[in-house]
Amino acid sequence: MSIVSNAAADGYIARFAVRHQFYLVHGSDEGLTHERTRALVRKVLGEDGDPLRLVRLDGEAIAGDPGALADEAYAISMFGPDRTIWIDARGRDLLPALRPLFAKPPRDCIVIVRAGQLRKDNALRTAFEDAPNCASIECYSDEPSTVRDLIKSELQEAGLLISPDDLNALSELLGADRQTTRAEIAKLMLYAFGQAKIRLEDIEAIVSGAAPSKLDAMIDHALLGDLGGACASAAQFFNEGGDGDQSIARLAAQLVLLHRVRLELGRGKPFDAACRALFLKLPPASSRALARQSKGWTSEAIMRRLPSVRAASANVRAESRLSELLATRMVWSLASLSKASRGQGSA
Protein backbone atom coordinates (compact mmCIF):
# COMPACT_ATOMS: atom_id res chain seq x y z
CA MET A 1 0.00 0.00 0.00
CA SER A 2 1.01 3.63 -0.43
CA ILE A 3 -0.61 6.78 1.00
CA VAL A 4 0.48 9.88 -0.91
CA SER A 5 -0.20 13.17 0.87
CA ASN A 6 -1.48 16.21 -0.96
CA ALA A 7 1.88 17.99 -0.57
CA ALA A 8 3.80 15.04 -2.01
CA ALA A 9 1.36 14.14 -4.78
CA ASP A 10 2.74 16.25 -7.64
CA GLY A 11 6.28 15.06 -6.99
CA TYR A 12 5.06 11.46 -6.75
CA ILE A 13 3.34 11.71 -10.13
CA ALA A 14 6.32 13.51 -11.73
CA ARG A 15 8.63 10.64 -10.68
CA PHE A 16 5.95 8.07 -11.41
CA ALA A 17 6.88 4.48 -12.15
CA VAL A 18 4.18 1.81 -12.26
CA ARG A 19 4.53 0.24 -8.82
CA HIS A 20 0.87 -0.46 -8.13
CA GLN A 21 -2.10 -1.57 -10.17
CA PHE A 22 -4.79 0.37 -8.36
CA TYR A 23 -4.86 4.09 -7.64
CA LEU A 24 -7.44 6.14 -5.76
CA VAL A 25 -7.28 9.89 -6.45
CA HIS A 26 -9.53 11.65 -3.96
CA GLY A 27 -10.12 14.94 -2.16
CA SER A 28 -12.15 18.13 -1.88
CA ASP A 29 -10.50 19.85 -4.87
CA GLU A 30 -12.38 18.36 -7.81
CA GLY A 31 -10.27 20.19 -10.37
CA LEU A 32 -7.12 18.78 -8.83
CA THR A 33 -8.49 15.22 -8.71
CA HIS A 34 -9.17 15.50 -12.44
CA GLU A 35 -5.75 17.00 -13.18
CA ARG A 36 -3.85 14.37 -11.18
CA THR A 37 -5.91 11.49 -12.60
CA ARG A 38 -5.19 12.72 -16.12
CA ALA A 39 -1.47 13.06 -15.25
CA LEU A 40 -1.40 9.47 -13.99
CA VAL A 41 -3.04 8.26 -17.19
CA ARG A 42 -0.40 10.08 -19.27
CA LYS A 43 2.36 8.50 -17.18
CA VAL A 44 0.99 5.02 -17.79
CA LEU A 45 0.19 5.44 -21.48
CA GLY A 46 2.91 7.95 -22.38
CA GLU A 47 2.41 11.48 -23.69
CA ASP A 48 1.35 10.12 -27.09
CA GLY A 49 -0.45 7.08 -25.71
CA ASP A 50 -2.92 5.21 -27.84
CA PRO A 51 -6.41 6.35 -26.78
CA LEU A 52 -7.65 2.82 -27.47
CA ARG A 53 -5.69 1.71 -24.39
CA LEU A 54 -7.79 3.96 -22.16
CA VAL A 55 -11.26 2.94 -20.97
CA ARG A 56 -13.48 5.47 -19.15
CA LEU A 57 -16.15 4.01 -16.86
CA ASP A 58 -18.82 5.67 -14.73
CA GLY A 59 -19.23 4.71 -11.07
CA GLU A 60 -23.00 4.54 -11.37
CA ALA A 61 -22.78 1.98 -14.18
CA ILE A 62 -20.28 -0.13 -12.22
CA ALA A 63 -22.38 0.00 -9.04
CA GLY A 64 -25.33 -1.29 -11.07
CA ASP A 65 -23.30 -4.10 -12.64
CA PRO A 66 -20.17 -4.89 -10.53
CA GLY A 67 -19.13 -7.70 -12.86
CA ALA A 68 -18.68 -5.28 -15.77
CA LEU A 69 -15.44 -3.94 -14.27
CA ALA A 70 -13.92 -7.42 -13.97
CA ASP A 71 -14.93 -8.23 -17.55
CA GLU A 72 -13.13 -5.12 -18.76
CA ALA A 73 -10.06 -5.54 -16.53
CA TYR A 74 -9.45 -9.21 -17.38
CA ALA A 75 -10.10 -8.78 -21.10
CA ILE A 76 -7.14 -9.57 -23.35
CA SER A 77 -5.86 -6.34 -24.87
CA MET A 78 -5.60 -6.00 -28.63
CA PHE A 79 -3.76 -2.67 -28.36
CA GLY A 80 -0.64 -3.38 -26.30
CA PRO A 81 0.23 -3.62 -22.58
CA ASP A 82 -0.58 -1.29 -19.71
CA ARG A 83 -4.16 -0.52 -20.50
CA THR A 84 -5.73 1.98 -18.14
CA ILE A 85 -9.25 1.99 -16.73
CA TRP A 86 -10.32 5.42 -15.46
CA ILE A 87 -13.36 5.30 -13.18
CA ASP A 88 -15.27 8.37 -12.01
CA ALA A 89 -16.74 7.12 -8.73
CA ARG A 90 -19.46 9.82 -8.40
CA GLY A 91 -20.10 8.78 -4.82
CA ARG A 92 -21.11 5.22 -5.69
CA ASP A 93 -20.08 2.08 -3.76
CA LEU A 94 -17.39 0.48 -5.94
CA LEU A 95 -16.00 -2.04 -3.44
CA PRO A 96 -18.11 -5.01 -4.63
CA ALA A 97 -16.60 -4.50 -8.08
CA LEU A 98 -13.04 -3.83 -6.89
CA ARG A 99 -12.56 -6.54 -4.26
CA PRO A 100 -12.29 -9.42 -6.78
CA LEU A 101 -9.63 -7.41 -8.64
CA PHE A 102 -7.68 -6.73 -5.44
CA ALA A 103 -7.70 -10.47 -4.70
CA LYS A 104 -6.69 -11.43 -8.25
CA PRO A 105 -5.07 -8.45 -10.00
CA PRO A 106 -5.47 -8.36 -13.78
CA ARG A 107 -2.40 -8.51 -16.01
CA ASP A 108 -1.25 -5.43 -17.94
CA CYS A 109 -4.07 -3.25 -16.64
CA ILE A 110 -3.96 -0.21 -14.34
CA VAL A 111 -7.16 0.90 -12.57
CA ILE A 112 -7.48 4.54 -11.47
CA VAL A 113 -10.50 5.62 -9.43
CA ARG A 114 -11.25 9.33 -9.20
CA ALA A 115 -13.42 10.27 -6.22
CA GLY A 116 -14.49 13.32 -4.27
CA GLN A 117 -13.76 14.04 -0.64
CA LEU A 118 -13.73 10.85 1.45
CA ARG A 119 -13.68 10.60 5.22
CA LYS A 120 -10.77 8.72 6.76
CA ASP A 121 -13.09 5.89 7.73
CA ASN A 122 -14.68 5.68 4.27
CA ALA A 123 -14.69 2.04 3.17
CA LEU A 124 -13.32 2.75 -0.32
CA ARG A 125 -10.48 4.91 1.04
CA THR A 126 -9.66 2.39 3.75
CA ALA A 127 -9.56 -0.45 1.21
CA PHE A 128 -7.07 1.42 -1.00
CA GLU A 129 -4.93 2.43 1.98
CA ASP A 130 -4.77 -1.13 3.32
CA ALA A 131 -4.40 -3.23 0.15
CA PRO A 132 -0.77 -4.04 -0.83
CA ASN A 133 -1.16 -3.28 -4.54
CA CYS A 134 -2.89 0.10 -4.12
CA ALA A 135 -1.98 3.76 -3.77
CA SER A 136 -4.20 6.47 -2.32
CA ILE A 137 -3.45 10.02 -3.54
CA GLU A 138 -4.89 13.03 -1.69
CA CYS A 139 -6.09 16.18 -3.49
CA TYR A 140 -6.88 19.21 -1.37
CA SER A 141 -6.91 22.94 -2.05
CA ASP A 142 -3.48 24.35 -2.86
CA GLU A 143 -1.38 26.07 -0.22
CA PRO A 144 -0.64 29.77 -0.90
CA SER A 145 2.96 28.95 -1.85
CA THR A 146 1.77 26.35 -4.36
CA VAL A 147 -0.66 28.85 -5.92
CA ARG A 148 2.12 31.45 -6.24
CA ASP A 149 4.44 28.90 -7.86
CA LEU A 150 1.71 27.88 -10.29
CA ILE A 151 1.04 31.51 -11.25
CA LYS A 152 4.73 32.26 -11.75
CA SER A 153 5.19 29.15 -13.87
CA GLU A 154 2.23 29.94 -16.13
CA LEU A 155 3.19 33.62 -16.53
CA GLN A 156 6.84 32.80 -17.15
CA GLU A 157 5.87 30.38 -19.89
CA ALA A 158 3.78 33.16 -21.48
CA GLY A 159 6.61 35.69 -21.11
CA LEU A 160 4.68 37.87 -18.64
CA LEU A 161 6.06 39.60 -15.54
CA ILE A 162 4.25 40.38 -12.28
CA SER A 163 5.37 42.31 -9.20
CA PRO A 164 5.60 40.49 -5.84
CA ASP A 165 2.72 42.55 -4.41
CA ASP A 166 0.47 41.86 -7.38
CA LEU A 167 1.45 38.18 -7.30
CA ASN A 168 0.33 38.00 -3.67
CA ALA A 169 -2.90 39.82 -4.50
CA LEU A 170 -3.65 37.38 -7.33
CA SER A 171 -2.75 34.29 -5.30
CA GLU A 172 -5.16 35.34 -2.54
CA LEU A 173 -8.02 35.14 -5.06
CA LEU A 174 -7.14 31.65 -6.27
CA GLY A 175 -6.47 28.19 -4.91
CA ALA A 176 -9.87 26.79 -3.95
CA ASP A 177 -9.93 24.55 -7.02
CA ARG A 178 -6.95 23.75 -9.28
CA GLN A 179 -8.99 23.70 -12.48
CA THR A 180 -10.60 27.05 -11.66
CA THR A 181 -7.20 28.49 -10.75
CA ARG A 182 -5.75 27.52 -14.13
CA ALA A 183 -8.83 28.89 -15.92
CA GLU A 184 -8.55 32.25 -14.12
CA ILE A 185 -4.83 32.51 -14.91
CA ALA A 186 -5.51 31.72 -18.57
CA LYS A 187 -8.28 34.34 -18.66
CA LEU A 188 -5.96 36.93 -17.11
CA MET A 189 -3.17 36.21 -19.60
CA LEU A 190 -5.58 36.55 -22.50
CA TYR A 191 -6.85 39.85 -21.09
CA ALA A 192 -3.27 41.13 -20.77
CA PHE A 193 -2.25 39.97 -24.27
CA GLY A 194 0.27 42.38 -25.77
CA GLN A 195 1.49 43.64 -22.39
CA ALA A 196 4.81 42.81 -20.81
CA LYS A 197 3.50 42.79 -17.26
CA ILE A 198 0.39 41.83 -15.29
CA ARG A 199 -0.89 44.78 -13.25
CA LEU A 200 -3.28 44.97 -10.30
CA GLU A 201 -5.85 46.75 -12.46
CA ASP A 202 -5.77 43.79 -14.87
CA ILE A 203 -6.43 41.40 -11.98
CA GLU A 204 -9.32 43.46 -10.66
CA ALA A 205 -10.80 43.84 -14.13
CA ILE A 206 -10.96 40.18 -15.11
CA VAL A 207 -10.30 37.70 -12.26
CA SER A 208 -13.50 36.39 -10.65
CA GLY A 209 -14.04 37.82 -7.18
CA ALA A 210 -11.43 40.57 -7.60
CA ALA A 211 -13.65 43.44 -8.63
CA PRO A 212 -16.28 44.74 -6.22
CA SER A 213 -19.87 43.83 -7.08
CA LYS A 214 -22.80 46.24 -7.29
CA LEU A 215 -23.76 45.09 -3.79
CA ASP A 216 -20.22 45.71 -2.52
CA ALA A 217 -20.34 49.23 -3.96
CA MET A 218 -23.69 49.97 -2.32
CA ILE A 219 -22.47 48.83 1.10
CA ASP A 220 -19.20 50.71 0.71
CA HIS A 221 -20.99 53.99 -0.11
CA ALA A 222 -23.36 53.50 2.83
CA LEU A 223 -20.59 52.85 5.35
CA LEU A 224 -18.49 55.74 4.04
CA GLY A 225 -21.37 58.18 4.51
CA ASP A 226 -21.71 58.84 0.77
CA LEU A 227 -25.46 59.34 0.38
CA GLY A 228 -25.35 60.19 -3.33
CA GLY A 229 -23.23 57.17 -4.15
CA ALA A 230 -25.39 54.93 -1.94
CA CYS A 231 -28.58 56.08 -3.69
CA ALA A 232 -27.12 55.55 -7.17
CA SER A 233 -25.60 52.14 -6.41
CA ALA A 234 -28.77 50.95 -4.61
CA ALA A 235 -30.90 51.93 -7.61
CA GLN A 236 -28.54 50.10 -9.97
CA PHE A 237 -28.35 47.02 -7.73
CA PHE A 238 -32.13 46.65 -7.39
CA ASN A 239 -32.87 47.60 -11.02
CA GLU A 240 -30.67 44.68 -12.06
CA GLY A 241 -32.63 42.24 -9.90
CA GLY A 242 -30.78 42.57 -6.59
CA ASP A 243 -32.31 40.88 -3.56
CA GLY A 244 -33.30 42.91 -0.48
CA ASP A 245 -32.76 40.07 1.99
CA GLN A 246 -29.29 39.39 0.60
CA SER A 247 -28.32 43.07 0.75
CA ILE A 248 -29.36 43.50 4.39
CA ALA A 249 -27.66 40.24 5.40
CA ARG A 250 -24.43 41.35 3.72
CA LEU A 251 -24.69 44.79 5.30
CA ALA A 252 -25.07 43.26 8.77
CA ALA A 253 -22.15 40.88 8.12
CA GLN A 254 -19.95 43.78 6.97
CA LEU A 255 -20.76 45.78 10.09
CA VAL A 256 -19.88 42.82 12.31
CA LEU A 257 -16.60 42.39 10.43
CA LEU A 258 -15.93 46.11 10.69
CA HIS A 259 -16.57 45.95 14.43
CA ARG A 260 -14.03 43.14 14.86
CA VAL A 261 -11.45 45.09 12.87
CA ARG A 262 -12.10 48.24 14.87
CA LEU A 263 -11.53 46.32 18.12
CA GLU A 264 -8.12 45.19 16.83
CA LEU A 265 -7.29 48.72 15.70
CA GLY A 266 -8.27 49.94 19.15
CA ARG A 267 -5.54 47.70 20.56
CA GLY A 268 -2.99 49.69 18.60
CA LYS A 269 -2.57 47.37 15.62
CA PRO A 270 -2.25 48.72 12.07
CA PHE A 271 -4.91 47.60 9.61
CA ASP A 272 -2.86 44.80 7.96
CA ALA A 273 -1.93 43.36 11.37
CA ALA A 274 -5.58 43.53 12.45
CA CYS A 275 -6.59 41.49 9.41
CA ARG A 276 -3.90 38.91 10.09
CA ALA A 277 -5.02 38.63 13.71
CA LEU A 278 -8.56 37.90 12.49
CA PHE A 279 -7.30 35.47 9.77
CA LEU A 280 -8.99 37.59 7.11
CA LYS A 281 -8.23 36.73 3.50
CA LEU A 282 -9.94 39.31 1.30
CA PRO A 283 -9.62 40.28 -2.37
CA PRO A 284 -7.54 43.46 -2.75
CA ALA A 285 -10.55 45.65 -3.59
CA SER A 286 -12.50 44.35 -0.58
CA SER A 287 -9.50 44.87 1.69
CA ARG A 288 -9.10 48.47 0.54
CA ALA A 289 -12.82 49.12 1.06
CA LEU A 290 -12.69 47.69 4.58
CA ALA A 291 -9.64 49.83 5.37
CA ARG A 292 -11.51 52.96 4.22
CA GLN A 293 -14.59 52.04 6.23
CA SER A 294 -12.56 51.35 9.37
CA LYS A 295 -11.33 54.96 9.38
CA GLY A 296 -14.86 56.34 9.58
CA TRP A 297 -16.31 54.31 12.45
CA THR A 298 -15.60 53.45 16.07
CA SER A 299 -16.55 50.12 17.57
CA GLU A 300 -19.00 51.88 19.89
CA ALA A 301 -20.79 53.58 16.98
CA ILE A 302 -21.09 50.26 15.16
CA MET A 303 -22.62 48.59 18.21
CA ARG A 304 -25.22 51.38 18.39
CA ARG A 305 -26.25 50.79 14.76
CA LEU A 306 -26.21 46.99 14.60
CA PRO A 307 -29.58 46.47 16.35
CA SER A 308 -31.39 48.60 13.77
CA VAL A 309 -29.73 46.73 10.90
CA ARG A 310 -30.69 43.38 12.42
CA ALA A 311 -34.25 44.62 12.96
CA ALA A 312 -34.39 45.68 9.31
CA SER A 313 -33.17 42.21 8.32
CA ALA A 314 -36.03 40.61 10.29
CA ASN A 315 -38.54 43.01 8.71
CA VAL A 316 -37.27 42.21 5.21
CA ARG A 317 -37.77 38.48 5.80
CA ALA A 318 -41.25 39.07 7.25
CA GLU A 319 -42.35 41.46 4.48
CA SER A 320 -40.79 40.04 1.35
CA ARG A 321 -42.92 42.27 -0.88
CA LEU A 322 -41.32 45.33 0.74
CA SER A 323 -37.79 43.93 0.90
CA GLU A 324 -36.33 46.31 -1.69
CA LEU A 325 -37.87 49.38 -0.05
CA LEU A 326 -36.83 48.39 3.48
CA ALA A 327 -33.28 47.52 2.41
CA THR A 328 -32.93 50.79 0.49
CA ARG A 329 -34.11 52.78 3.51
CA MET A 330 -31.54 51.07 5.73
CA VAL A 331 -28.77 51.88 3.24
CA TRP A 332 -29.89 55.52 3.07
CA SER A 333 -30.09 55.70 6.86
CA LEU A 334 -26.49 54.56 7.33
CA ALA A 335 -25.21 56.75 4.51
CA SER A 336 -26.98 59.79 6.02
CA LEU A 337 -25.26 59.51 9.40
CA SER A 338 -23.06 62.46 10.30
CA LYS A 339 -19.37 61.98 10.96
CA ALA A 340 -20.06 62.45 14.66
CA SER A 341 -22.72 59.71 14.60
CA ARG A 342 -20.27 57.28 12.98
CA GLY A 343 -17.61 58.21 15.54
CA GLN A 344 -15.22 59.43 12.85
CA GLY A 345 -12.17 61.06 14.30
CA SER A 346 -12.94 59.97 17.85
CA ALA A 347 -11.16 56.63 17.71
**Domain locations in the chain as residue ranges:** 2-138, 144-206, 214-342
pLDDT band at 313 (very low <50, low <70, confident <90, very high): confident
Paired residues of 84 in beta bridges: 54, 110
Residue 91 pLDDT exceeds 90: no
In CATH terms, 214-342 corresponds, of 3.30.465.10, 3.30.1540.10, 3.40.50.10490, 1.20.272.10, to 1.20.272.10
Q: Do domains 2-138 and 144-206 have the same CATH topology?
A: no
Residue 345 has pLDDT above 60, yes or no: no
Q: Sheet with 22-26: list strands edge to edge.
A: 2-4, 134-138, 22-26, 109-114, 83-88, 54-58
pLDDT at 49 over 50: yes
Which CATH number applies to 2-138: 3.40.50.720, 3.80.10.10, 3.40.50.300, 3.40.630.30? 3.40.50.300
User: If we measure between CA atoms, which residue out of 133, 75, 122 comes closest to residue 99?
Assistant: 133
Q: What pLDDT shows up at residue 80?
A: 61
CATH architecture, domain defined by 144-206: Orthogonal Bundle (1.10)
The conformation of residue 53, written as its DSSP 8-state character, comes to G
pLDDT at 265 over 90: yes
**Beta pairing partners, 31:** none
**Between 245 and 24, whose confidence is greater?**
24
User: What is the structure's pLDDT at 121?
Assistant: 92
Which pLDDT band holds residue 50 (cuts at 50, 70, 90)? confident
